[in-house]
Amino acid sequence: MCGIFAYTGGRNAKPILLEGLSMLEYRGYDSAGLYLSDQGVTRTPGAVTELRAKATGESSAKSGLAHLRWATHGEPTEENAHPHTDCDSNVYIAHNGIIENFNELKQGLIARGHTFKSKTDTEVLAHMIEEELKADKSFEDAVVDTLKKVHGTYGLLISYAKEPETIITARMGSPIVLGIGKGERFIASDATPIVKHTKKMVFLEDGDIAIVTPDSHRIRTLKEASVDRKEEEISWDVGEASRGGYPHFMLKEIFEAPEVLENALRGRLIVNEGRAKLGGLESVAKQLEKLDRLMITACGTAYYAGLIGEYLIEDLAGLPVEVDVGSEFRYRKPIIGKKTAVLAVSQSGETLDTLEAMREGKRRGALTLGVVNAVGSTIARETDAGVYNHAGPEIGVASTKAFLSQVTVLALIALFLGRARSLSEEDGKKIVKALMELPELSKKVLAKSDAIKALALKYKDARDFLFIGRRYSYPVALEGALKLKETSYVHAEGCAAGEMKHGPLAMIDNKFPTVVVIPMDSVYQKTLSNMIEIKTRKGPVIAIATEGDVRVAEIADDVIYVPKTEEQLTPILSAIALQLFAYHFAAEKGLNVDRPRNLAKSVTVE
Ligand code: F6R
């Protein structure tokens, strides 16, 4: 999820590239770099301010590449910043995405004498193109033949020192927008840095490779020498362009669910063995085998993901799990033995209470683990081992895509631990299959966005909401309530469906709606009884139910159906529906959904 920008045309490229890059900065990056044909590469940790300070000196280059990195492979250092180059400094590459098979490709290249200067997955591409060029292939053929050997995702910018006017770009999983000006072309990861120069754009499709010069562009695929892609005249302003045309980042990020789920799973499933492969946990595999307890610590939405992790890990791995919010864990004198691991879950990797809870675990002798989105963040650096989310930067203050990713990674950890313990191959395979289906299923929930919006409108005057669920759906109910209250400022309370009769039921009347999370799972009948109890008190009910469940529709006032999946993974699909509900409810009120009052994205104070 890096930001990339390229220019080729008649103007001086350097100021255009630096200005364009600063417009992409809103996504919050950790390092930056620039390639200009007459100056070579300038790279730095930090972002555009640091790059400007470093890229001094006049340039008259008329083309170049620029990159903002959001680290995935390798820490955010100067060496790992893009663009990367080959042994002869002829080929320059800026990349957004992950090359899955980079390790095996890299070993082959090292054996053939190539020297690597970074720890990134991207650098392999520069060396592979170098080899193809040395075999006397054209720039285009060298790129095409290289991409034939690559698995993974990419939005690529490639420059060749001997043909400085030409830039080749390729898209697989990571967006590429081509801007068409008069005698100039722009290429970027989203339309933001382009709209100022031209509104005429082509949105590349997966598998597209474009050969771009100032006056022309030809789009091809690995198989076909030319394909037609229509030019669009967009009407977005800069703000809309940065949100990819969505009215808010929160909605954009909810709609990133399929990609986020793919990214969390990519390269981590061994399908024929029903196992998860988690490179980040390999160094502590022996200690994990001996664990007798896992303590998960996190805050807010990440804490609710942790609660789902508890159900998952106890269910699939038979390992006792405790979950605690960071601010409690760090002060409650937790009992930690030699076989205890403390797992911190955090999108930012900087939440102070989670960090201090993890440090408290470490002081008491626990193995420390992390499920973190921000590479190189404090929690990621200080834990003994961990698994990255690869969900990309989350801009909306209310966490949405990170939550989906956290639950997915916790499911992978549960599978990883489970298969090393008691989980059978057959049951492992069931989970693997269901995980692989999730990205497609998530699209079906997203397709209901308009229907969910209509529902949010129907309930727009309600001032109080109760959210209930059982087992895996209990933390989902808690998260659904948090999402609604933080974006809409209405009172929303989550509770275990079984707890309702112990107090919350007293609040219910015809003006107090309840959202019942009721997938067809092992506790379906019990949740159904709770739903009936609410209806008996004349409480309006919105059900989040499994497609095809007619019984629920007879009782509830409204139903949002989500596709069927394994019980353990229902939280991911139900959560998307609740995220959309919260978003539309708040957006209809005209609230600042991306920046709810009184809240900050990263809570680095107690
Ligand atoms: C709610 C939300 C917060 C965060 C919490 C932890 O939508 O975003 O509750 O989940 O502040 O943040 P991280 O995951 O960065 O540790």
Distance 579 CA to ligand 1 centre (A): 14
- When computed from its CA atoms, the radius of gyration of the chain, rounded to whole angstroms, is 25
DSSP states of 303-367: HHHHHHHHHHHHHHH---EEEEEHHHHTTS-----TTEEEEEEESSS--HHHHHHHHHHHHTT-E
DSSP states of 77-127: STTTSSPEE-TTS-EEEEEES-BTTHHHHHHHHHHTT----SS-STHHHHH
The pair of three-digit structure tokens given for residue 358, joined into one six-digit string: 């993890």
The pair of three-digit structure tokens given for residue 76, joined into one six-digit string: 């955010």
Q: Is 398 in the pocket of ligand 1 (CB under 6 A)?
A: yes
DSSP states of 247-316: SSHHHHHHHTHHHHHHHHHTT-EEGGGTEE--GGGGGGHHHHHH--EEEEEE-HHHHHHHHHHHHHHHHH
From the first residue on, what is the mean pLDDT of each consecutive set of 10 residues in the chain (606 residues)?
92 96 81 94 92 92 94 84 95 92 95 94 96 97 97 94 97 90 95 91 94 97 94 82 88 96 95 97 95 98 98 98 96 93 96 94 97 89 95 91 98 97 97 98 98 98 97 98 98 97 95 98 98 97 98 98 98 98 97 90 75
pLDDT of residue 272: 97
Model-wide pTM > 0.85: no
Closest ligand 1 atom number to CA of residue 403: 10
Closest CA to 371 of 360, 358, 362: 358
The pair of three-digit structure tokens given for residue 403, joined into one six-digit string: 């939550």
Phi, psi of 494 (to 5 degrees): -105, 145
Q: Is 301 in the pocket of ligand 1 (CB under 6 A)?
A: yes
Distance 406 CA to ligand 1 centre (A): 11
Q: Based on the residue annotation, tell me whether 495 is a catalytic residue of this protein.
A: no
Q: Give the closest residue (by CA) to ligand 1 atom 7.
A: 398
Closest ligand 1 atom number to CA of residue 348: 15
Closest ligand 1 atom number to CA of residue 354: 16
Ligand 1 mutation pick, 249, 253, 348, max ligand atoms within 8 A of CB: 348
Which DSSP letter does residue 484 get?
H
pLDDT of residue 393: 83
Buried-state track 259-287, b at ≥16 Cβ within 10 A, e below 16: bbbbbbbbebbeeeebbbebebbeebeeb
Q: Is 399 in the pocket of ligand 1 (CB under 6 A)?
A: yes
Q: Is 347 in the pocket of ligand 1 (CB under 6 A)?
A: yes
Owner of token pair 């034939």: 148
Q: Is 568 in the pocket of ligand 1 (CB under 6 A)?
A: no
Which DSSP letter does residue 373 get?
S
Q: Is 374 in the pocket of ligand 1 (CB under 6 A)?
A: no
Calculate the alpha carbon distances from 474 to 70, 137, 298, 385, 503 in Å.
33, 59, 17, 29, 16
Q: Based on the residue annotation, tell me whether 2 is a catalytic residue of this protein.
A: yes
pLDDT of residue 72: 77
pLDDT of residue 73: 76
End-to-end CA distance of the chain: 30
Calculate the alpha carbon distances from 296 to 308, 357, 364 in Å.
10, 10, 15
List, in sequence order, every residue forming a beta bridge with 494; answer none if it has no partner.
467
Owner of token pair 């893009």: 82
Distance 103 CA to ligand 1 centre (A): 33
Contact 514/539 with Cβ under 8 angstroms?
yes
The pair of three-digit structure tokens given for residue 93, joined into one six-digit string: 């590459």
Which entry of 277, 526, 535, 601 is annotated as an active-site residue?
A: 601
pLDDT of residue 28: 67
Closest ligand 1 atom number to CA of residue 300: 9
pLDDT of residue 125: 97
The pair of three-digit structure tokens given for residue 461, joined into one six-digit string: 């005057």
The pair of three-digit structure tokens given for residue 558, joined into one six-digit string: 């409204």
Cα atoms found within 13 Å of the Cα of residue 255, Cβ hemisphere only: 15
Q: Give the closest residue (by CA) to ligand 1 atom 9.
A: 300
**3-class DSSP string for 132-200:** HHHCCCCHHHHHHHHHCCCCECEEEEEEECCCCCCEEEEEEECCCEEEEECCEEEEECCCCCCCCCCCE
d(CA 353, CA 356): 5
